[in-house]
Every structure is written in C-alpha cells, then in structure tokens.
Amino acid sequence: MSRLINFSAGPATLPLPALEHAQRELLDHEGTGISMLEHSHRGAAYQKVHDECKALLVELLDVPDTHAVLFMQGGASAQFALVPMNLLGPGQSADYVNTGTWSKKAIGEAKIVGQVRVAGTGEVNGAFTRIPSQSELKLDPNAAYVHITSNNTIMGTQYHAYPDTGAVPLVADMSSDILCRPVDVSKFGLIYAGAQKNLGPAGITVVIVRKDLAERSPDTIPSIFRYRTILEGDSLQNTIPTFPVYMVREVLRWVKAQGGAPAMKRRNEEKAALLYDLIDADPDFFRCPVEKGSRSIMTPVVRLPSEALEKKAIAEALAAGFAGIKGHRSVGGLRISIYNAVEPSDVAKFVEFLKAFRAAN
C-alpha cells in the first residue's frame, strides 16, 4: 500500500491512526460482535461513541455551558437554510458579510427565507482577495444575527480576528477551519461546520449553538429542522449517521493526542509558513492573490506565471504523489489544502517539489 499525500479541499485526508483503528474494528466494534456500521443508534455501544465525541468537542473547543454541541445532517449547505429558518423572524433582517462563493450561497438561501443585508464585502476589483476589517463593516444593531464565512476555501482567505457584533449574535460557517486553532466560542451565537475537512468524513455536521438561541426555533418550521428539537433530543431524535460520528471521534482523539487546539494552531501556522515563505521569496514565479493579513492557514492558494505552467505543475505533482492541488474551477490556479491532518513533513516535501519545478521551468 502506498498512500498519496492528499491536499484535497474536502472530503480531505484523515489521520492515519484514525483510519487504522477504524479498519481494525470494522467487523467487530470493541468486541461487541457488531460493526459500528451496524450498531443501533439507541444502543450502549453507539451512545458511548456519541457521548465521547461530544465531550471531546466541548473539551478541545472549550465550549462553555451556555452553548450546546449538536450533530446534524446536510452539511453547511443545509445550514445556509436552517440558520435563517430558525433565527430570522418575520420583520427581522440579518446581516451577512460576503467573502466569496460560500458566503454568496449562504446569502442566496437566506434571501429565500427572509430579509438580508450585506454588511460588508471582501471583494476588490471583482475578486475576493481579503477579509474586511471591523471598521469597514456596516452592521445593523437590530439585525437578527451577523453571518460570516470563517475560512474561504476557494479564495484562500481567512478571518484572523472575528468581528465584534455587540449584542447581535455572530454566526460563523467554520466548515473549513473549525479546530484549526483555539477559538473563543462564547463570542458566537452559532458555529456550524461540515465534518469533511478538519473533523472527519462527509456525512455529519457539527453545530455549536448558544442554548437560548436554539430555544427560539419557531413552531412554524418542521420540527426536524428546529435547533430546539436537536438540542432537546441530544441529536438522537431520529437516526443519526452513526459511523461518521464514530470517525469524528477517532479524529478528535488524534487531535487531543497531538496537544489539542493550541498544537493544531502551531502545526497549521508552520505548514502555512512553509508555503507562504516560498511564495514570497520568489515573486517572479509564485503569486498569492490574497492580501497578507487575510491569508488562510488552511487553504493557501497560489498562481504560477501561466495557466499552462499551472496545469503542468498539477500533473507533475500527481505523478510525484501529491494529490488534490488543483484550484477551484471558478478561480483556477493551485490550492493546497493543509487541514489539521496534513503532516508538516508532507508540506515540506511539497515545497521541495515546487522548488524543483520552479528550477526546471
């Protein structure tokens, strides 16, 4: 077996110990004689996984008692709709900060549900190359909430300081950077994240919500779409995707063993620095379109002098064992997703590849 070095934007590479453990017990979970793919969501074996997974999220993200961890389905795309369905009442308006593709999708879904204001943008000359600063935001003090996209996979931008929204709840799509560093959860009304980048495989969504906000879910929306229902049912009101939760637990055990969120921050900053240092040292060949203070430590993007060279680099990288570096079709270029599970030594190898590629071209 020869595993590739996988820089895919998500679903993404998982820690090898998590995969190996899952493989070992795939036919027989902890000697129960039943696979975790088969265990009832109402049984003790799954309940233990569920509780540990939730407890690890609380511990690693330092989630305060005011907030609850929910497991949901449908990914961030479902949350684009569920956030306004739950939190945007009739006659209210919600503020959205537009930092590119995923923000736009969130805005689009919210507009179907209720009234939306765009309170800020990361657009410069038609490209989303930066995160707007606090002073640039035109926040409505009466907004139902303020919505941001914490990391923008396609654009390669990331918030490094979150907006102060005062008494207005801050809602963040953290799908592509949750647990990449410590975060003060108490500052957020709601955080949501599809698991398939930093937390596990596709098929489960983590929602961290202030309990008093969850309680506001209106009775006019289907009960299965209310945060209140999920909170009251401890995410077990109906059949939960048991195996994806189990895999998230495996990944979180690995994160904890590495040293938790502070260790992830050091590790991710180290990986990002390897790439950005190379880019900045050779501006005639490499170019990062993102403003320095807005650069992502999760999904750096880089352009080469021509599309032909980019195409060549992607093909040669794959031949050398590096997968998933093609930029999103909407922007082109290269994107090197260096989520938590990507090893710094693998990024170092890729930097050596890029140096050799640069020397040869």
Residues forming the active site:
102, 173, 197
CB of 209 to a copy of itself, least distance (A): 18
Q: Should residue 189 be labelled a site residue for a copy of itself when binding is judged by CB under 8 A?
A: no
Q: Which residues of 240-262 are buried (b: 16+ CB within 10 A; e: fewer)?
A: bbbbbbbbbbbbbbbbeebebbe
Nearest CA-CA partner of 137 in 150, 153, 115, 122: 122
What letter represents residue 230's amino acid? I
Among 114, 182, 289, 321, binds a copy of itself (CB under 8 A): 321
Residue 334, exposed/middle/buried by CB under 10 A (0-12, 13-18, 19+)?
Answer: buried
Half-sphere exposure of 85 (CA within 13 A, CB side): 16
Helix (H) or strand (E) holding 94: strand 93-98
Stretch that binds a copy of itself, among 18-26, 50-58, 280-288, 350-358 (CB under 8 A): 18-26
Q: Should residue 4 be labelled a site residue for a copy of itself when binding is judged by CB under 8 A?
A: yes
CB atoms near residue 287 (< 10 Å): 16
Q: Should residue 8 be labelled a site residue for a copy of itself when binding is judged by CB under 8 A?
A: yes
Q: Should residue 40 be labelled a site residue for a copy of itself when binding is judged by CB under 8 A?
A: yes
Find the DSSP H helices in the chain.
Answer: 16-24, 44-60, 75-87, 101-113, 211-214, 227-232, 242-258, 260-281, 307-319, 344-360
Stretch that binds a copy of itself, among 32-40, 162-170, 256-264, 295-303 (CB under 8 A): 32-40
Map the footprint of a copy of itself across residues 235-264, applying CB under 8 A. Answer: 237-244, 247
Among 23, 125, 135, 330, binds a copy of itself (CB under 8 A): 23
Q: Which residue number, 20 or 164, has a Cβ lying nearer to a copy of itself?
A: 20
* Binding residues for a copy of itself, total number by CB under 8 A: 68
- Alpha-carbon Rg for the chain, nearest whole angstrom, is 21
Q: Should residue 281 be labelled a site residue for a copy of itself when binding is judged by CB under 8 A?
A: no
Q: Which residue number, 85 or 178, has a Cβ lying nearer to a copy of itself?
A: 85
CA pair distance 131, 116, nearest whole angstrom: 20
CB of 356 to a copy of itself, least distance (A): 21
Among 55, 60, 137, 202, binds a copy of itself (CB under 8 A): 202
Q: Should residue 30 be labelled a site residue for a copy of itself when binding is judged by CB under 8 A?
A: no
Nearest CA-CA partner of 175 in 238, 110, 116, 105: 105
Instruction: Give the x-and-dash track for 66-85 against a copy of itself (CB under 8 A).
Output: -------xxxxxx-xx---x
Looking only at the bridges linking them, the beta strands covering 322-323 and 5-6 are parallel
- Summarize as ranges the residues that interact with a copy of itself (CB under 8 A): 1-4, 6, 8-14, 16, 19-20, 22-23, 26-28, 32-35, 37-41, 43, 73-78, 80-81, 85, 108-109, 112-113, 194, 196, 201-204, 219-225, 237-244, 247, 321, 323-324
